[in-house]
Structure 1
């Protein structure tokens, strides 16, 4: 539903590049919403993978495997925004560097 509301002119540089300037809160609201949704999904993935310091590498691997399954479901459902957010999170430096975790991912 969010992507159906996107207006092409809001995605163009002249509007989008002004999004962070004071007084521009009203510019490109649907683009802002899609970016917020993407960032929220990515943050959720990273937080669930890293949020608990007592997690073992195997525990984290199970969480990573869960997110891989969710990503596959997103692909099946053609939910490419969430798919990309999940993959981006899994490829982020903070998760990608977890060698012991990735060794245990099946």
Structure 2
């Protein structure tokens, strides 16, 4: 259950980070506050049973990758091979933290 909550919290990190783009609009502010609070609460819950370093890396990794992909798909950020390679390296690092002792 902790892993499911952690992944959902990472997705919510993407939501609050993406809402910063339009932060001075009321809907974006509400989205930011709600997603941030739920994301942090979920992270705190998951860290009760998941090691701190692993849990935080997974949470940040999901948020980083999700935000970068959102920028590329929805906002027209560049999607170069180098940027995509860097995102793949983040995924590899997070998987390594989970699988390796």
TM-score by length of 1: 0.37
Instruction: Return the structure number with greater relative CO, CA threshold 8 A, min gap 6.
Output: 2
Which structure has the larger Rg?
1
